[in-house]
Amino acid sequence: MPVDGAIRAAVFDLDGTLVNSRADITQSVNHALEGVGLPPLSEDEIGAHVGRGVTNLVRSVLGESHQDLFKKALARFKKHYSEHLLDHTALYPGVADTLERLSGLKKAVLTNKPTEYSVRILRGLRVERYFDSVLGGDALPVKKPAPDALLLLAARFGLRPEEILMVGDSAIDVEAGKNAGVRTCAVTYGFGTRAELEAAGADCLVGHFGELARLCRAPGEA
């Protein structure tokens, strides 16, 4: 489904949508696993667990049989990631230019990653200025796919949900958008697979961030 000019705001996921953070997340997870005596995992294995927040990430990579190691593994992950979250993380192609082109739209970042990490990444990559709001997974009592944060942003922006586009790389982002009544666009280059995004029922799919410039123009643009 095409996204038309009625869009007044765009809300973006962070990991897998705005930034490629695979290497730094992988290294921090494997640092945590090493510290509790478990073997390392590949980027793809770890990537399959990204999207539901740090706590869920660590719990899920440990597996059901190693939950007794959770507290130590989580502490090791947080310390390592806090010190290395910008070692390799970079913007995906076209992100900075497209955010500039969408300067007439309200924009926010909505991620299940903690707010502190998110702001530090956006600031370090010099794109924080493009966003009117940054909500991490600790901003509200519930995380995506709950609709609460999207509805809060709609209220802040003074917009109806249907005037907002949620852009993400996972079924969680699509589900959050649907739960909130906003339109959804899934990017196919992130952590989620195309099959997962299609099954989730995203309103549109794009293979490059730059495609968003034509899909959600600011009001009055040709």
Q: What are the residue numbers of the active site? A: 13
Give the list of residues 6+ apart from residue 94 with CB closer than 8 angstroms, or none. Answer: 208, 209, 210
- Beta strands per DSSP E along 40-145: 90-91, 106-110, 133-135
Output the six-digit token pair for 16: 């897998």
Output the six-digit token pair for 67: 């939950």
H/E segment holding residue 78: helix 70-84
Instruction: Give the C-alpha separation, 111 to 179, whole Å.
Output: 16
Supply φ then ψ for residue 135, to 5 degrees. -115, 120
DSSP assignment, residue 112? S
Residue count of the chain: 222
